[in-house]
Amino acid sequence: MESSVRIEQALSAAIDLAKQPGCPPRLYEAMRHAVFPAGARLRPRLCLAVALSCGETDLRIPMTAAVAIELLHCASLVHDDLPCFDDADTRRGRPSVHRAFGEALAVLTGDALIVQAFQVLARMPPTARLGSVLASVSAGVGTPWGIVAGQAWECEPTVDVAQYHRLKTGALFAAATMAGAAAAGVDPGPWRALGDGIGEAFQVADDIRDATSTAEEMGKPAGRDLALDRPSVVRELGLEGAIGRLDRLIGEVGETIPTCPGAAELHNLIRVEARRLLPAKLAQRAA
Amino acid sequence: MESSVRIEQALSAAIDLAKQPGCPPRLYEAMRHAVFPAGARLRPRLCLAVALSCGETDLRIPMTAAVAIELLHCASLVHDDLPCFDDADTRRGRPSVHRAFGEALAVLTGDALIVQAFQVLARMPPTARLGSVLASVSAGVGTPWGIVAGQAWECEPTVDVAQYHRLKTGALFAAATMAGAAAAGVDPGPWRALGDGIGEAFQVADDIRDATSTAEEMGKPAGRDLALDRPSVVRELGLEGAIGRLDRLIGEVGETIPTCPGAAELHNLIRVEARRLLPAKLAQRAA
């Protein structure tokens, strides 16, 4: 709970770096609109949890990594909602950024949030870990295998669906685990598999929510997978099958956690979080 | 001349990081389209020139900064050309990215190039200079006073024109001089004024070109300032007045060059480059 408060405070401080004389005030407002009120903040919490599991007790460096990753996630939502992609009117129960501020400012808000993530990293306390954190964070977003590349698969004539999901969703979870390790001074490479596995589980949970929730519950349009003829685990396996796969994936990710002081607590935390991803009426069954 | 070849090679290598199995091939093509063939490459050349002037002879670190800055410049052109901004059909004599690849992929290409800039910095040889270079580069692009903030002034109900140009154009020149200094292990702060001054001179030269060149000479639509009722030094002072101001600005920037081993050569280089910015028929008069 305490870390959630600290994440919100750190995100707010990061956005407020833009609140200066000479900065366009609507750009600042749109950036704040894109980042608040809080979503689940899964990725920054995962990043911090990994750093703690690796034995890091000073969270100043992990927190800069966590904030950078959440800003990049929010940026991706702003651009994904644009008319040329999902054309979504709502996000987190409010108008999407382009609906509230116009398309031009929405493009720039996404750009500004991407850059802000790296400005935050640049303000990290001086440490030799910066290079490793920067590499982990940026690789999860860019090319060849980050979330931007994942989204760009939508612009190709033929798509490898598994690769599409792995990049579009999994890459930023992998960035969260890897950057958490890097921020703790640990080699990030062995932490990639955990992030990939969590990303896959998240994608299944997201498909289940899309198929079973109302737009009000989700804070964004529901039933989009069916409406847009997108691949979905629920369409492929049915609801019970999808819940079964989620359970199996969450069990499996435990095996991918590298040896570290807090491995058992980390796996338990991931189980709890996975249950919270499901609509309340299904969470009991998944448990 | 040699540094120009090395800049192209380094940019090509940076883009080719995206050419991997699993990366959407059209995204890679669009990134390459956005960065090649070469524009004037003013900013990376300025960045390298500053690092050399500061006495740095090993250009590996300055080159990563120079490449990052040019990728960010190219990203800004891709997004500025979008229908919701300038709606430009051509750039560097070829179709703009959204004309060639569609609007969705153009948004993602800009995003990918922004992130690629930071991925390039992450691959810098290990050095304590990374934090300072990262701060200089990212501040020139983001908020409160980078080029994204400059562009966002177009979305405000009232605009401070001088501030608009200072951010939209000057900020990345300031990033180039500051990152060049930082990459040479020198405090970047004192190098900001030189970048700001060069940015202001560039803006005047750009206004002169827009007013006096054909679209073919510019490789992009000409006469846009008049057509879009934009502020322009040529409209304000007339052509002779604008050329006079450019001469004065180029003279003045010499006084802003911090004390360093190569100050005189750097000022001379800036004079030569400034003349090259003008259409051939005017360059003689400016000289």
Q: Is the pLDDT of residue B167 over 70?
A: yes
Alpha helices of A184-262 — where are they, by DSSP H?
192-212, 215-218, 224-227, 233-256
The H-or-E segment that residue A76 falls in is helix A60-80
Alpha-carbon distance B267 to nearest alpha carbon in chain A (angstroms) = 29
State the Cα–Cα distance between residues A115 and A232, nearest whole angstrom.
32
Q: Check CB contact under 8 Å for A118 and B118.
A: yes
Residue with tokens 């929405």: A106
CB pairs below 8 Å between A and B: how many?
Answer: 195
pLDDT tens digit string along B265-285?
A: 999 999 988 888 887 777 766
Please answer whether residues A175 and A195 qualify as being in contact, where contact means their C-beta atoms are separated by less than 8 angstroms.
yes
Please tell me the predicted confidence (pLDDT) of residue B253: 93
- On chain B, the residues whose CB falls within 8 A of the CB of A160 are 22
What 3-state class would DSSP assign to B97?
A: helix
Q: Per the structure block, which two tokens stand in for A232?
A: 């979905």
Indicate the pLDDT class of residue B286, thresholds 50, 70 and 90: low
- On chain B, the residues whose CB falls within 8 A of the CB of A26 are 152, 155-156
- Residue among A164, A187, A167 nearest A177 (CA): A187
Q: Check CB contact under 8 Å for B112 and A28.
A: no
- On chain B, the residues whose CB falls within 8 A of the CB of A27 are 143, 148-149, 152, 155
Say which residue, A162 or A112, is predicted with more confidence.
A112
Identify which of B101, B119, B134 has the shortest CB distance to residue A139. Answer: B119
Q: Check CB contact under 8 Å for B146 and A101.
A: no
Residue with tokens 């529901």: A222
Indicate the pLDDT class of residue B248, thresholds 50, 70 and 90: very high
Q: Is the pLDDT of residue B221 over 80?
A: no
Q: Is the pLDDT of residue A225 over 90?
A: no
Please tell me the predicted confidence (pLDDT) of residue A277: 82
* Parallel/antiparallel/unpaired status of strands A94-95 and B90-91: unpaired
- On chain B, the residues whose CB falls within 8 A of the CB of A182 are none
Average pLDDT over residues B76-87: 97
Phi, then psi, of B242 in degrees rounded to 5: -65, -40
State the Cα–Cα distance between residues A111 and A76, nearest whole angstrom.
9
| Mean of pLDDT over chain B | 92
Domains, chain A, with CATH or none? 2-286 (1.10.600.10)
> Among the listed ranges A65-79, A97-111, B71-85, B235-249, which one has the minimum average pLDDT value?
B235-249
Please tell me the predicted confidence (pLDDT) of residue A236: 87
Alpha-carbon distance A264 to nearest alpha carbon in chain B (angstroms) = 32
Alpha-carbon distance B50 to nearest alpha carbon in chain A (angstroms) = 21
pLDDT tens digit string along A89-144?
A: 999 999 999 999 999 999 999 999 999 999 999 999 999 999 999 999 999 999 99
Q: Is the pLDDT of residue A39 over 80?
A: yes
Phi, then psi, of B91 in degrees rounded to 5: -155, 130
pTM higher than the cut 0.90: yes
Indicate the pLDDT class of residue A285, thresholds 50, 70 and 90: low
Identify which of A116, A143, A167 has the shortest CB distance to residue B143. Answer: A116
Q: Is the pLDDT of residue A286 over 60?
A: no
- On chain B, the residues whose CB falls within 8 A of the CB of A135 are 119, 122-123
- Bond before B144 cis per omega within 30 degrees: yes
State the Cα–Cα distance between residues A154 and B164, nearest whole angstrom.
35
Please tell me the predicted confidence (pLDDT) of residue A84: 97
Distance of CA B144 to the CA centre of its chain: 18
Q: Select, from the ranges A119-133, A196-210, B230-244, the one with the highest average predicted confidence (pLDDT).
A: A119-133
Average pLDDT over residues A24-41: 96
- On chain A, the residues whose CB falls within 8 A of the CB of B141 are 115
Please tell me the predicted confidence (pLDDT) of residue B270: 92
Q: Per the structure block, which two tokens stand in for A151?
A: 């989204």
